[in-house]
Amino acid sequence: MADQLEALIVAGDFPVGSKLPAEPELAQRFEVGRSSMREAVRTLAAAGYLRSTHGSGVYVTSDRSSRIGPLDLTLAGGYTMSDLFEVRIAIESTTAELAARRLTDHHHELLQSILVAAGDPATTREEFVRLDGRFHRQVAEASGNPLLLLVWDSFAAQHEEYSLKVIGMPGRRERAHADHVAIAEAIGDRDPERAGRLAAEHVRTVQQELRSGPADAAARPAR
């Protein structure tokens, strides 16, 4: 469904700047259910073709995909990476801030042990992804708020799926690890503002990489 709509956008049937027909009309045109049509629109929005404006509609923003090669931006459950990024920015910035305020020696040691393992060159890509998830979950646990930890666990599977998809991007592993080290340092310094800001920037960095493509990502220094 998304492929068919994408083809029409690329062909110019829906020009850049134009507003898509309403969801029921599109669903009828493509002879699919509204839920399938909604998922197709979400997929193309994540790929950079469309922008949904609340109360106004869905607009065509590009006739060229911002996806990296064959990278699939959809996740289990019909969610997109864009959905995940929005949740991560909200949750991870908050958990990092609270962790900086409430950090215990125990949680500090656990964060450091995860970073040591992740920084080992012998660590495989799959192991790094698991350690990535453990790092963010440990920050959520260090926040001292059990509901925030529960929220993190609710999207942990999508986070791992996303991580496995993007970890092969040039320099992504190195940048992710450098970001984790910086976040842990801010938490260890008991600096909530810096910890929250770095956690949000950590997510926005990979968002930008997905939009700009692999060449631009490879040119960025590790941070």
pLDDT band, very low/low/confident/very high, at 65 (cuts 50, 70, 90): low
Longest dimension (CA), the chain: 60
Q: What is the pLDDT of residue 11?
A: 78
What contacts 24+ positions apart, CB below 8 Å, involve 5-13?
Answer: 5/30, 5/40, 5/41, 5/44, 6/44, 6/47, 6/49, 6/65, 9/44, 9/49, 9/50, 9/60, 9/63, 10/63, 10/64, 12/63
Ranges of H-type helices in 124-191: 125-142, 146-154, 156-166, 172-188
Residue 67 has pLDDT above 70, yes or no: no
pLDDT band, very low/low/confident/very high, at 72 (cuts 50, 70, 90): low
| pTM of the entire predicted model | 0.66
Q: How far apart are CA 112 and CA 164, in angstroms?
A: 23
- In 3-state terms the chain splits into helix, strand, coil percentages (rounded to 5) of 70, 5, 25
| Residue 127: φ, ψ to 5° | -65, -40
Average pLDDT over residues 87-100: 97
Q: What is the pLDDT of residue 91?
A: 97
Judge contact between 164 and 133, C-beta under 8 A.
no
Residue in 167, 106, 96 with CA at minimum distance from that of residue 131: 167
CA dihedral 89, 38, 54, 209 (to 10 degrees): 40
Could you give the 3-state DSSP secondary structure of residue 47?
A: coil
pLDDT tens, position by position, 155-207 = 999 999 999 988 888 899 999 999 999 999 999 999 999 999 999 999 999 88
Residue 215 has pLDDT above 70, yes or no: no
Look at phi and psi of residue 54 and say left if phi exceeds 0, alpha if psi is from -120 to 50, else beta: beta
Q: How far apart are CA 206 and CA 11, in angstroms?
A: 29
Judge contact between 123 and 117, C-beta under 8 A.
yes
pLDDT band, very low/low/confident/very high, at 121 (cuts 50, 70, 90): very high
Q: How far apart are CA 208 and CA 216, in angstroms?
A: 10
Q: How far apart are CA 45 and CA 121, in angstroms?
A: 36
pLDDT, greater one: 220 or 140: 140
Residue 124 has pLDDT above 60, yes or no: yes
